[in-house]
């Protein structure tokens, strides 16, 4: 699998990004401020993540998505570990990520990759999304914030 930064002339794979964040408006906003990386198998894009600088020494992983037909193959973990390495190589001291209270697989993945829970942004998904979102039979209300020292 090949991982690379998206070239300036390439369009971000919106179909993949929307798997992790259903708001096209929010995705477009953070794509403007961030760096988009893609994972390809042969010539098919199978994964994506976006990093944005949030403070001088801090970068945030704002979107991690794997094509539905390629999930369960360890690609998500490879994407997260690649993002951590990119952040370290770029000189950042901290990497952060946020996910939903009902995003059970993502909460497990980030902790397996060395992230620790730091705080909860209560009602984040109520404030920022017009429609209720459900995952694993649980309504998405709160953003669980995690971070890792690099």
| pLDDT per position as a tens digit, 5-38 | 998 889 999 999 999 988 899 999 999 999 999 9
Confidence check: pLDDT of 40 > 90: yes
pLDDT one-digit tens code per residue, 104-143: 999 999 999 999 999 999 999 999 888 999 999 999 999 9
Q: How far apart are CA 16 and CA 14, in angstroms?
A: 5
- Distance from C-alpha of 65 to C-alpha of 14, rounded to nearest angstrom: 10
Residue 58 has pLDDT above 90, yes or no: yes
Say if residue 52's pLDDT is above 90: yes
Whole-prediction pTM: 0.93
Class level of CATH domain 2-149: alpha beta
pLDDT on residue 8: 87
Mean pLDDT for the stretch of residues 46-64 = 96
Strands 134-135 and 116-121, bridge-based pairing: unpaired
Report the distance separating Cα 100 and Cα 133, nearest Å.
10
* pLDDT exceeds 90 at position 43: no
**pLDDT tens figures, 61-109:** 999 999 999 999 999 999 999 999 999 999 999 999 999 999 999 999 9
HEC string for the chain = CEEEECCCCCCCCHHHHHHHCCCHHHHHHHHHHCEEEEEEECCEEEEEEEEEEEECCEEEEEEEEECHHHCCCCHHHHHHHHHHHHHHHCCCCEEEEEEECCCHHHHHHHHHCCCEEEEEECCHHHHHCCCCCEECCEECCCEEEEEEEC
């Amino acid at each position: 699998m090949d991982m690379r930064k998206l070239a300036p002339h390439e369009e971000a794979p919106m179909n993949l990004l929307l798997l992790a964040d259903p708001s096209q408006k929010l995705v477009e906003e953070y794509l403007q401020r961030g760096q988009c990386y893609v994972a390809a198998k042969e010539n098919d894009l199978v994964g994506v993540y976006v990093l944005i600088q949030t403070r001088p020494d801090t970068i945030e992983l704002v979107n991690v998505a794997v094509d539905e037909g390629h999930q369960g193959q360890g690609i998500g973990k490879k994407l997260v570990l690649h993002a951590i390495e990119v952040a370290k190589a770029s000189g950042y001291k901290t990497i952060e990520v946020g996910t939903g209270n009902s995003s059970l697989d993502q909460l497990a993945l980030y902790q397996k990759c060395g992230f620790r829970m730091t705080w909860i942004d209560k009602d984040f998904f109520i404030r920022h999304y017009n429609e209720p979102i459900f995952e694993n039979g649980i309504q998405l209300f709160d953003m669980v914030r995690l971070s890792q020292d690099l």
